[in-house]
Structure 1
């Protein structure tokens, strides 16, 4: 499926990227990916402690501390990628880093729940602008033959953050209190700003001069935000409640409007022409499906350890480290495989590894009695390793199928697909648990469903790529 060599030709006069500059760019972008994806999961384990700090606030309202970030992040990734290509990736990256530091500080010092929720939404906005701009800079600075390896390293940072988020969050909460999960971002983001401003490239060119359609940009951001909000909160709001239906129907209508408008606009909010490339379309479909399984698994893991095996926060952190390390290692290894057939079949292998791991977790091997060494560790190595491979392969497929001028837009669309799939996965988790009267049975059903999704991803990855022009 992934054909790294199939990317459209570079425009005449494009300079060959400098290897040392590519390394610096990758290091800064990996740091940004780490803090952005860390905040998608780090708050989950801190949520009960946060709730006790605001006893007068309804629990349903407090859930927006978690979902507000995810919704803003998913809704704005696509238009943020387009803006990064138009305004200059380096400039937007530095501004987004500063915004992320400020909003993280706001969250850490929030005097009330309303302030914290507002800070989380704004933090998600900053992350949405930071991520596609960062990866766009990496792809611009990296030699073509090393694109896969660069995406593998970048994916390792993001994947590692997503997997260790609950564990790291628990350790910070236990040692310093819940505000530390936000304040830790501030020095990291500040430390990245100066080297970020010194990165090569990332400047606007004449082909990028037009800003994306403002009306279409607002429509796609609000539309996707409403859809993700409905899927994320449908379980608590009620699937037939007026708010859920309005968000689903209104969000769907706005999204369709933005897509239709982008087909004919001179500077579309969404680069819909990219979807004419079969490789790009398959990569996004795979990211959507795998996102659903991955996000559900990442949240279910620490919940299982706590609710079924009664692990403490630190014990859970140690157990979760197994999958995190495996994910980081396999992401780097997968990125070094550059042949089209090699990428395709290693992706299939990764999806099957995740399938087997989750199918195993749905059996009585994961019962009421803890089985750390005989079950959790080998399943974690298998599943975490599969996640690192699949995320890298899908990211490489999406990035290698777009023109250089649309790197950030293509990356934004691919990440949006994964985030929207992730929101569906979290909703699926909530629905399965709500319908199950036995907690262990609920986990087993969830793991089995995720295994089936991963098997579908393996079949999708096995499809050969037939690239077409994205111009």
Structure 2
């Protein structure tokens, strides 16, 4: 008996877990390999989209000089808000409707919304397209990863998570180069067009996954709770993003901030009483799982701000070309991919320590970026390379550890919903991190160097908080919800 099923049966002897599907007994089977291949491809596409958009962001701002920078940050945070709001109900829908069916539908939706972004006639259309694209990605990720975890025995989860994370890391590795080349040769719209052939190829390989799709009798999630979750996250992010422009005491800022918190409270209250909650709060009864989500939320804020600040620094402070910026961004991405693979193969007792180490490495990187070594004079080897290796390596360690810990905290029948909740935490933190970036830059008009140093100091403080959370031990008596 696996460690997950043993703990479940000890807590619920009257409701033992169902036997694992035949594919789960053979980690090297064709079904398991296909699921991992296609899910990793989807992760590659979604993370490629994130990294290439970061590279394209300076070009987007130049194309819309009449649009405030705080407004254009919604090109990044709009995707993150929609992604975060829909991840948990998307995971539950994947369980209820069939992970293969939801996964293939999400691939088609991602391709169509990518075309919408590419054809957007103005910034408003582009931001709207990014919201829709984030919504389709929300269905894509938990359904794909749920497919993998449902056919993977517990002792192989770490290896599978490492492979899935490495696919995202590889996307981050080639993303700057691909994005830089596309922007330089064809313009920023091409970074969205590139998603279409990738999605079509994945659909062709993934058609087999919908055959024999198993559905869990959960029912559909609460629509009112889902709407309250999305609006709540979005309005809180709007308050942080626009607060400097509107004024922190302005009624619009206060209305968005307080209104968003009220909506999130309503969503949580409904989720505690609704038979099919939009937010899977029952999973939080696992102390380990709750800690993982808290750490993912905090670290997501600093990670997203850092990833967007990098291309902006290279373009505005060091005046790098698009291709030169892309090459520089590859350094941290390679470090992230390497450490992700190492963390996935590390013994379980080492996982928590590696997570703490990753957060501290990231904190050291961002703290170094506040020093005099980071000024208007380009210093690739003295400044950028060591910071990129430390920061990217820290991301690879912590993100892999968090993903593995979340998966090990869940019973098999809640994989998709649980993975969706974990990614929701990270994306919600990421949306707030991008909003903090916008607020910091709005507070330092005409002083970009000062704004960057302030932002990196804030990122370092948040990373230290993530390290503290990652160091907290889970209670030994916890059981999966």
- Whether TM-score is above 0.5 comes out as yes
Other-structure match for 1:255: 264
Query: How far apart are 1:256 and its partner, in Å?
Result: 1.1
Other-structure match for 1:15: 21
Q: Identify the range of structure 1 (445-454 vs 395-404) with the bigger mean alpha-carbon deviation.
A: 445-454
Contact between 2:311 and 2:325, CA under 8 Å: does it hold in 1? yes
SS of structure 2 residue aligned to 1:199: helix
Instruction: Note closer, same or farther for the CA distance 1:85–1:452 as it changes in structure 2 (3 Å cut).
Output: same
1:30 and 2:36 are equivalent in the alignment? no
Contact between 1:230 and 1:247, CA under 8 Å: does it hold in 2? yes
Instruction: Note closer, same or farther for the CA distance 1:286–1:298 as it changes in structure 2 (3 Å cut).
Output: same
Q: Which residue of 271, 279, 302 corresponds with 2:311?
A: 302
Can you list the C-alpha shifts for 1:258-284, whole angstroms capped at 9, x where unaligned?
A: 211221222222211111111111101
Alignment TM-score, normalising by the size of structure 2? 0.89
Instruction: Note closer, same or farther for the CA distance 1:428–1:159 as it changes in structure 2 (3 Å cut).
Output: farther
1:427 and 2:425 are equivalent in the alignment? no
Query: How far apart are 1:57 and its partner, in Å?
Result: 6.6
Other-structure match for 1:276: 285
Can you list the C-alpha shifts for 1:315-347, whole angstroms capped at 9, x where unaligned?
A: 1111111110110111111011242x2111111
Can you list the C-alpha shifts for 1:129-172, whole angstroms capped at 9, x where unaligned?
A: 11111111111122211111211222232344457655543321
Instruction: Note closer, same or farther for the CA distance 1:349–1:67 as it changes in structure 2 (3 Å cut).
Output: closer
Instruction: Note closer, same or farther for the CA distance 1:304–1:58 as it changes in structure 2 (3 Å cut).
Output: closer
1:312 and 2:321 are equivalent in the alignment? yes
Query: 1 CA distance for matches of 2:310 and 2:426?
Result: 19
SS of structure 2 residue aligned to 1:99: helix
Contact between 2:101 and 2:210, CA under 8 Å: does it hold in 1? no
Instruction: Note closer, same or farther for the CA distance 1:209–1:446 as it changes in structure 2 (3 Å cut).
Output: closer
Query: How far apart are 1:255 and its partner, in Å?
Result: 1.5
Other-structure match for 1:74: 84
Other-structure match for 2:13: none
Contact between 1:145 and 1:338, CA under 8 Å: does it hold in 2? no
Instruction: Note closer, same or farther for the CA distance 1:261–1:194 as it changes in structure 2 (3 Å cut).
Output: same
Query: How far apart are 1:36 and its partner, in Å?
Result: 1.7
1:90 and 2:96 are equivalent in the alignment? no
1:456 and 2:465 are equivalent in the alignment? yes
Q: Which residue of 116, 120, 125 corresponds with 2:130?
A: 120
Q: Which ranges in structure 2 are unaligned for 5 or more consecutive residues?
A: 10-15
Q: Which residue of 218, 223, 231 corresponds with 2:227?
A: 218
Q: Which residue of 339, 355, 369 corresponds with 2:363?
A: 355
Q: Which residue of 142, 147, 151 corresponds with 1:132?
A: 142
Instruction: Note closer, same or farther for the CA distance 1:5–1:380 as it changes in structure 2 (3 Å cut).
Output: farther
Query: How far apart are 1:452 and its partner, in Å?
Result: 2.3
Q: How many residues are aligned here?
A: 467
Query: How far apart are 1:92 and its partner, in Å?
Result: 0.4
Instruction: Note closer, same or farther for the CA distance 1:170–1:147 as it changes in structure 2 (3 Å cut).
Output: same
Other-structure match for 2:344: 335
Query: 2 CA distance for matches of 1:43 and 1:454?
Result: 24
Alignment TM-score, normalising by the size of structure 1? 0.91
Contact between 1:86 and 1:212, CA under 8 Å: does it hold in 2? no
